[in-house]
Structure 1
Amino acid sequence: MAKIRVTKRFHFEMAHTLHEYDGLCRNIHGHSYNLEVTLAGEPRNQPGHPKDGMVMDFADLKHLVKSEIVNRFDHSLMVNKLVPEEQTELLRKTSERIILVDFQPTTENIVSYIAEILQEKLPPDVSLFSIRLFETVTAFAEWFAEDNQ
Structure 2
Amino acid sequence: MTTIRLTREFSFEMAHALEGYDGLCRHLHGHSYKLFVTVSGTPCDDPQNPKYGMVMDFGDLKRIVNRLVVEPYDHALVLRQTPENLRLLEQVRAKWERVYLVDYQPTCEQMLIRFAGQIAAELPRGVQLAELRLYETEKSHATWRAEDNSR
TM-score with structure 1 setting the length = 0.96
Moved more, 4-13 or 77-86: 77-86
- Equivalence for 1:51: 51
How far has the Cα of 1:93 moved from its partner? Answer: 4.3
- Equivalence for 1:60: 60
- Equivalence for 1:36: 36
Q: Does 1:89 align with 2:90?
A: yes
Unaligned runs of 5+ in 1: none
Moved more, 25-34 or 92-101: 92-101
- Equivalence for 1:8: 8
How far has the Cα of 1:112 moved from its partner? Answer: 1.2
Q: Does 1:119 align with 2:120?
A: yes
The residue type paired with residue 140 of structure 1 is: H
How far has the Cα of 1:20 moved from its partner? Answer: 0.8
- Report if aligned partners of 2:93, 2:100 keep a CA contact under 8 Å in 1: no
The residue type paired with residue 91 of structure 2 is: L
Moved more, 117-126 or 11-20: 117-126
- Equivalence for 1:131: 132
Q: How many residues align?
A: 149
Percentage of identical aligned residues: 47
Aligned-partner Cα distance in 1 for 2:65–2:100: 17
Moved more, 28-37 or 93-102: 93-102
Aligned-partner Cα distance in 1 for 2:126–2:16: 35
The residue type paired with residue 101 of structure 1 is: V
RMSD: 1.1
SS class of match (1:114): helix
How far has the Cα of 1:123 moved from its partner? Answer: 1.3
How far has the Cα of 1:127 moved from its partner? Answer: 0.3
How far has the Cα of 1:24 moved from its partner? Answer: 1.1
Unaligned runs of 5+ in 2: none
Aligned-partner Cα distance in 2 for 1:15–1:53: 40
Aligned-partner Cα distance in 1 for 2:53–2:98: 39
Moved more, 23-32 or 80-89: 80-89
- Equivalence for 2:106: 105
How far has the Cα of 1:90 moved from its partner? Answer: 2.9
SS class of match (2:125): coil
How far has the Cα of 1:94 moved from its partner? Answer: 4.0
The residue type paired with residue 118 of structure 1 is: I
How far has the Cα of 1:124 moved from its partner? Answer: 2.1
